[in-house]
């Protein structure tokens, strides 16, 4: 298998005649999620850092990083989507709008009596499942979590620590999703998955809207000064699709250029874009990558349509791109903040660094308009959610990064 970074500039007939709906990602929809999140005890906007020394080294005007390692003490952004979708599901059962059910009302004895018992089920590589388990515990409900083979024992323990029934199964992520859906139908559980498929779109859309709180915070923190480029990572593409949908709905033709970063071994969006056929292409196999949170081979149909129509570029990233980013952020230049970013969180920083410094990427830089006038936003979607793996990479040099590009 090749181990080189591959990049696709998205200039297809779908970008010329976009059709993906933007209404679900307008401000008036996403603010509902942010208002709900604000009602949860312990909510606080995660930090947005400026990295002036790194931006100077890379030859861009500015670089800002949204640090999700501090989200509700869970070290990852994923809880935003799962929690909001679970809340919307409860509101739906009770025949209410989510705006009528802030967290204290949703967890009241009166609401729980009307609701009765709910079991939420999901498949996860770690962060999403922990968020679902955490929210289920907050709601005093049950959760069942399945993890694909190769998942971290530390991440499994963290999910069980939130009160979930959880196990690692002998199948890849996408097969585990199908198995979870079958089990949920058998036992009457509610599936909370950000992978959308025919007949299962409502909860994935709620999850995507829940992720929108992150971007609303970020735009407020940069004082509504629109970045020129946003680098976003993708597994099934729910988060990346939300970012693209929100920015397009907000800024239209003046939106930032969105660059999507995927793990090479699970680059379903990249392959789908390269095909230029408009249909999502699945990637099979074991999907073993250091970027555990991105090890998903089948795209969310809602997210894919948005990215197909509006994204500027797609990158298929070998593991060294992520470890390169982890080391950059964990060993900052003088004056820049020290940021603990996990494997899936740091791939966007690693990709930006390679794009700006590799002679082989000069033409791609030019096509993307990345230069001394660029204002770049990256999102570190997780901290050290597997602390030992983080140390193995940043301290002990697992998966060399520098000489690969």
Q: What is the pLDDT of residues 88-107, one digit of tens each?
A: 999 999 999 999 999 999 99
Residue 65's pLDDT band (boundaries 50, 70, 90)?
very high
Q: What is the pLDDT of residues 14-61, one digit of tens each?
A: 999 999 999 999 999 999 999 999 999 999 999 999 999 999 999 999
pLDDT of residue 402: 59
Q: What is the pLDDT of residues 222-234, one digit of tens each?
A: 988 899 999 999 9
Among the listed residues 200, 217, 176, the one whose alpha carbon sits nearest the alpha carbon of residue 46: 217
* Range name among 140-144, 202-206, 272-276, 398-402 with the lowest pLDDT average: 398-402
> One fold for both 6-76+202-395 and 78-198?
yes
Q: Which of 32, 66, 75, 78 is catalytic?
A: 78
**pLDDT above 80: residue 310:** yes
- Judge: domain 6-76+202-395, CATH 3.10.129.10: no
**pLDDT above 60: residue 175:** yes
* Range name among 134-138, 222-226, 263-267 with the lowest pLDDT average: 222-226
Burial of 398: CB neighbours in 10 Å, binned 0-12, 13-18, 19+: middle
Q: What are the residue ranges spanned by the domains of the chain?
A: 6-76+202-395, 78-198
pLDDT of residue 394: 96
Please indicate, yes or no, whether the overall pTM of this predicted structure exceeds 0.85.
yes
Rounded (10°) angle between helices 319-330 and 387-394: 90
| Mean pLDDT calculated for residue range 365-390 | 97
Block residue for tokens 């003088």: 334
| SS3 labels along the chain | CCCCCEEEECCCHHHHCCCCCCHHHCHHHHHHHHHHHHCCCCCCCCCEEECHHHHHHHCCCEEEEEEHHHCCCCCECCHHHHHHHHHHHHHHHHCCCHHHCCHHHHCCHHHHHHHCCCEEEEECCCHHHHHHHHHHHHCCCEEEEEECCCCCHHHHHHHHHCCCEEEECCCCHHHHHHHHHHHHHHHCCEECCCCCECCECHHHHHHHHHHHHHHHHHHHHCCCCCCCEEEEECCCCHHHHHHHHHHHHHHHHHCCEEEEEEEHHHCHHHHHHHHCCCCCCCCCCCCCCCCHHHCCCCCCHHHHHHHHHHCCEEEEECHHHHHHHHHHHHCCCCCCCCCCCCHHHHHHHHHHHHHHHCHHHHHHHHHHCCCCCCEEEEEECECCCCHHHHHHHHCCCCCCCHHHC
pLDDT of residue 293: 92
Give the whole-angstrom CA distance, residue 203 versus residue 316.
28
Q: Which of 66, 75, 125, 309 is catalytic?
A: 125
Record the tokens describing residue 289, joined without a space: 């990558």
| Mean pLDDT calculated for residue range 212-230 | 95
**pLDDT above 70: residue 252:** yes
pLDDT of residue 196: 85
**pLDDT above 60: residue 404:** no
pLDDT of residue 251: 97
Q: How far is CA 46 from the centre of its chain?
A: 15
Residue 116's pLDDT band (boundaries 50, 70, 90)?
confident
Q: What is the pLDDT of residues 281-304, one digit of tens each?
A: 999 888 889 999 999 899 999 999
Task: Tell me if residue 78 is catalytic.
Answer: yes
Task: Tell me if residue 142 is catalytic.
Answer: no
Give me the CATH topology for the region 78-198: Rossmann fold (3.40.50)
Q: How far is CA 401 from the centre of its chain?
A: 23
Q: What is the pLDDT of residues 176-192, one digit of tens each?
A: 999 999 999 999 999 99
Give the whole-angstrom CA distance, residue 105 versus residue 125.
31
pLDDT of residue 281: 96
Q: What is the pLDDT of residues 71-80, one digit of tens each?
A: 999 999 999 9
Residue 1's pLDDT band (boundaries 50, 70, 90)?
very low
């Amino acid at each position: 298998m090749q181990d080189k970074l591959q990049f696709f500039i998205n200039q297809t007939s779908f970008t010329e005649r976009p059709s993906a709906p933007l209404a679900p990602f307008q401000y008036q929809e996403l603010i509902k999620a942010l208002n709900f999140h604000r009602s949860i005890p312990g909510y606080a906007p995660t930090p947005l850092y400026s990295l002036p020394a790194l931006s100077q080294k890379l030859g861009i005007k500015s670089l800002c990083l949204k640090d999700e390692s501090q989200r509700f003490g869970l070290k990852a952004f994923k809880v935003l989507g799962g929690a909001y979708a679970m809340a919307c599901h409860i509101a739906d059962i009770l025949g209410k709008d989510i705006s009528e059910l802030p967290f204290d009302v949703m967890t009241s004895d009166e609401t729980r009596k009307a609701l009765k018992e709910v079991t939420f089920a999901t498949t996860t590589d770690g962060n999403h499942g922990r968020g679902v388990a955490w929210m289920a515990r907050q709601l005093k409900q049950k959760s069942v979590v399945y993890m694909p083979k190769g998942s971290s024992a530390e991440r499994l323990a963290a999910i069980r620590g939130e009160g979930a029934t959880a196990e690692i199964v002998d199948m890849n992520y996408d097969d585990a999703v199908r198995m979870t859906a079958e089990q949920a139908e058998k036992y009457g559980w509610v599936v909370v998955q950000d992978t959308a498929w025919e007949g299962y779109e409502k909860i994935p859309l709620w999850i995507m809207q829940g992720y929108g709180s992150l971007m609303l915070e970020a735009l407020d923190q940069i004082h509504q000064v629109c970045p020129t480029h946003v680098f976003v990572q993708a597994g099934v593409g729910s988060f990346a699709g939300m970012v693209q949908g929100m920015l397009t709905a907000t800024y239209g033709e003046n939106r930032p250029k969105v660059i999507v970063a995927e793990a090479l071994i699970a680059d379903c969006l990249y392959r789908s874009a390269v095909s230029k056929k408009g249909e999502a292409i699945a990637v099979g196999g074991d999907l073993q990558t250091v970027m555990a949170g991105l090890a998903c081979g089948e795209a969310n149909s809602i997210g894919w349509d948005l990215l197909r129509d509006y994204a500027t570029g797609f990158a298929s990233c070998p593991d060294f791109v992520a470890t390169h980013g982890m080391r950059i952020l964990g060993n900052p230049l003088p004056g820049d903040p020290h940021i603990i970013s996990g494997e899936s969180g740091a791939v966007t920083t690693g990709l930006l660094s390679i794009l700006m410094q590799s002679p082989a990427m000069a033409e791609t830089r030019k096509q993307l308009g990345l230069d001394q006038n660029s204002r770049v936003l990256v999102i570190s979607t997780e901290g050290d959610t597997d602390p030992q793996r983080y140390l193995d990479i940043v301290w002990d040099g697992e998966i060399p990064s520098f000489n690969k590009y």
